[in-house]
Structure 1
């Protein structure tokens, strides 16, 4: 992806590259950090705060909250950069796992009390956050959640179980989608801030995604008392808040995919030029050349598509259709790039926890998370037929 932005953004991007190459990658190498290692919270929090010191943590936030006020297009460039860097811990650098990316657009709905106790500590890297909507029986059907929140005086009492919640392993609190009025359907869903150390809250780590990364957990809540002041945006506003977050969030997953695919592509070019077979590098074989050509072409198409959709988002346009198109196309094409990278690397590429093998697993996951490819096709079709 090309940098077409103003000089201060170019300086920020250069600072990001320097941090990745001069600090984060050497740190990972010194400590032998692998893709599937479980990291202590204090290590993660130190990483958040270092990124914050460098102006990299939550750069999309407005300057009034300590961010850089980046556009969606600029954020896409940075997300591609960190994912392509080869750093194991790259999702923590910009605040994707537990940081400002988790609180989404809550800033415009939050009360002063919520800003002081939840939003600002998250922005400062002092607390981690997660967004808890998915349940075992309501993955794609978000409006069918069963977690209940019942008003009792100055509190809500919450009972329910959230499933496969991303970044919950690093979180101190969750934005929990609850049913406050079961007779109103989606209009009866509310968003409530829940501290994960409250009595009645239990996190369980009974499964691992195919990436082997310790990021997700189930959040079980049994008669959990939460102050009514933790309600975000009023009763019944939760589903709208969630849907407002989802379109741009889907789009912002895409540069992470392209970054990972870019790393796999670069490694494949280098490997093809140096791997010797039958008296010369395998890059001289047309079969290898065609795979590299297809990979480069797919990356160009993905980059172009993501930046076009990001430009629309920056204009304030509703990008529901375009975000779903990007999520569908990019997730499938980038997985194909990883598949070809594995083919080029041969037995090296299928070795457990080799970067290409890990990227293959990670990119396969992206065809499921934040809405499956089938859900994206449904959304695109609805928008087409509504026009």
Structure 2
């Protein structure tokens, strides 16, 4: 099945990336997990290898490769067992940078997208609010036009790269009385007066810096508007398809890593005179998890193929995240159990995997919200439309 989507060039890229991660990233993971701070040097190393510019135009220093190179990047990042580090990379490269590329002016792209591709700048996407959660349309952050500037007030929370990023892509209401039709997208430099951030302490994703950000009369030039005023909501919804697919791919990749590790452990762990991979109760559970894994992978690759061809796959990407994150949680729960007491020990990978995976059904839209979005599409006939710039 994979040969349908992955060429020999893709496999060479995977091998190169895997070697890079083992040499340059893995030796630092334990430190970053403990400190919650990723060394700044690694961003430039990613940039030098071209890994941050996989999906972006050559004009700005990118490689302009097909979506399956992105899939490989996501899958390999999950294999080093630090979802926090992985999230920092993909939140920069595929949340913040996606908006830069899609809605940014030429001036913004030349300054920020180019520097993001080299790793000289790190970005974050600020949508979720303390009182809104998954309710994007209910956001309270405002951007008021005053002459040639906008003045922004409000707050955002659960923002990956929210502390150490250099710039912020921020959603705010420019016309609050219009509800979700009055949202716009802005670029804000970190050092702009009035921007402050507080680091959040999390159950998992320990390596990533997740922040709550406040905007107190933050004044930015009108040229920092991304795309058209009041078009922010369709921009966000359009890019949600990519974000949800990313989280679906992350989920199937960590499921595969967990199962592979657990099978290796089971083939060496003996009980009652035989290795525990010989016990039918365990074998059949493994069979069930592998079946669900392959279904998710096949579905996710198909969505990626369609997205790469320009199809609007919001429904399918939403389904991907909903199903794949549940499959991951269920599989990793059982994998931890199969390791017995060792599964509960920090020196084994399942404890961290268990914590990190639990964010899957929450971040990027909770499973409950995703079910309602799917219900609106399949029951009520709701038809979400792509944004037009």
Task: Identify which of 35, 38, 43 aligns with 1:37.
Answer: 35
Query: Would you say the 8 A contact 2:79–2:257 is kept in 1?
Result: yes
**Contact map agreement 1:77 1:255 (CA 8 A) in 2:** no
Unaligned runs of 5+ in 1: none
1:42-78, Cα deviation, whole Å (9 max, x unpaired): x23x212112222222312233333332333442233
The answer to whether the 8 A contact 2:34-2:207 is kept is yes
1:245 aligns with 2:239: yes
Match 1:125 to one of 119, 122, 136: 119
The equivalent of 2:321 in structure 1 is: 327
Structure 2 counterpart of 1:28: 28
Aligned counterpart for 1:293 among listed residues 270, 287, 293? 287
Report the alpha carbon displacement of residue 210 of structure 1 after superposing the two structures with TM.
3.9
Determine if the alignment matches structure 1 residue 72 to structure 2 residue 71. Answer: no
* Cα distance in 1 between the residues matched to 2:135 and 2:217: 25
Give, in whole Å, the separation in 2 of the partners of 1:343 and 1:72: 35
Name the CA distance, whole Å, in 1 between partners of 2:290 and 2:371.
25
- Aligned residue in 2 for 1:55: 50
Segment drifting more, 307-316 vs 365-374: 307-316
- Asked whether the equivalents of residues 58 and 101 of structure 1 are also in contact (C-alpha less than 8 Å), the reply is no
How big is the shift at 1:125? 0.7
Q: How does 1:151-190 map to 2 (within 5 A)?
A: 151-190=145-184
Instruction: Sort the Cα spacing of 1:2 and 1:283 in 2 relative to 1 into closer, same or farther, 3 A.
Output: same
The structure-2 alpha-carbon separation of the partners of 1:206 and 1:6, relative to structure 1 and needing over 3 Å to count, comes to: closer
Alpha carbons 1:99, 1:125 under 8 Å: kept: no
Equivalent position of 2:2 in the other structure: 2
How far does residue 370 in structure 1 lie from its aligned partner after superposition?
A: 0.8
Aligned-pair distance for 1:318?
Answer: 1.3
Compute the TM-score of the two structures, normalised by the length of structure 1: 0.91
Could you tell which deviates more after superposition, 329-338 or 106-115?
Answer: 106-115
Q: Is the 8 A contact 2:116 2:122 kept in 1?
A: yes
Match of 1:130, SS state, is strand
Distance verdict in 2 for CA 1:288–1:367, change over 3 Å: same
Displacement of 1:89: 6.9
- How many residues are aligned here? 380
Deviation at 1:132, TM superposition (A): 0.4
Name the structure 2 match of 1:19.
20
Is 1:351 the counterpart of 2:345? The answer is: yes
Indicate conservation of the 8 Å contact 2:84/2:204, yes or no. no
Tell me the distance in 2 between the aligned counterparts of 1:157 and 1:87.
Answer: 38
Paired with 2:140 and 2:347, the residues of 1 have a C-alpha distance of 38
Q: Give the aligned partner of residue 109 of structure 2.
A: 115
2:130 matched residue in structure 1: 136
* Structure 2 unaligned blocks of 5 or more: 383-389
2:387 paired residue number: none
CA positional deviation for 1:90: 5.0
- Determine whether 1:228 maps to 2:194: no
